Amino acid sequence: MMKKVYLLILFSLLIGLAGCNNNPVIKPDSQNILLYEKQGLLDSLVGTCSAYLIRTIPLDTIDLSSYNNINFTFNAFTDGDLSGVSIYHVKSDTAVNLFNLNGIAEINNTNSITVPSPKIRDKFYVRLKLFASQCTGQNYHLKLRDLNSYGN
């Protein structure tokens, strides 16, 4: 019995060693570092087709200078076909978008977007625009929640 246990342990060690090779584990150059987090509802707009609503939400001063790419994750929904969601910063009195999503297909079908880093430390903003081209008598909605940004 003891001999069988010894052979089983030896066999397990040999199989484990056979699976090893000379290729070291390659670690990624950079990891996703959480830069900004806002859980829950960030904002919600409701209006009719005759309303053109724009809301700007200041996020925070975020240091993106050490990262090559910025990944944003979020949950967004709209039923207004001309609605928009963008994140931007201001440079020389001009809004510079990191990304801009327009319309139902882009807003509702996007929950993660990666953009090149502007390599700056600045205050960032979210702009929500609610607008619909069809008048149905119903209210239209635009919601943004669970916004995170990661640098890598």
Q: Tell me, what's the pLDDT at 138?
A: 87
User: Domain range holding 114?
Assistant: 34-151
Can you give the pLDDT at residue 147?
97
Q: Which residues touch 142 (CB under 8 Å, ≥6 apart)?
A: 44, 45, 53, 76, 77, 78, 80, 83, 85, 107, 128, 129, 130
Cα(49)–Cα(51) distance, integer angstroms: 5
pLDDT at 135 over 80: yes
The pLDDT mean for the chain works out to: 85
- Is 39 a domain residue? yes
Residue 105 within any structural domain of the chain: yes
Q: With cut-offs at 50, 70 and 90, classify the pLDDT of residue 1.
A: low
Backbone conformation region of residue 137, classed left if phi is above 0, alpha if psi is from -120 to 50, else beta: left
Total structural domains in the chain? 1
Residues of the chain with pLDDT > 70, as a percent, come to: 80
Let me know if residue 68 belongs to a domain: yes
CB 118 within 8 A of CB 65: no
Q: Is residue 22 part of a domain?
A: no
Q: Report the predicted TM-score, pTM, of the whole model to 2 decimal places.
A: 0.76
Is residue 23 scored above 60 in pLDDT? no
| Tokens 């200041």 belong to residue | 58
Query: Tens digit of pLDDT for each residue in 71-107?
Result: 999 999 999 999 999 999 999 999 999 999 999 999 9
In a domain, 93, yes or no: yes
107 within a domain of the structure (yes/no): yes
Domain-embedded: residue 66 = yes
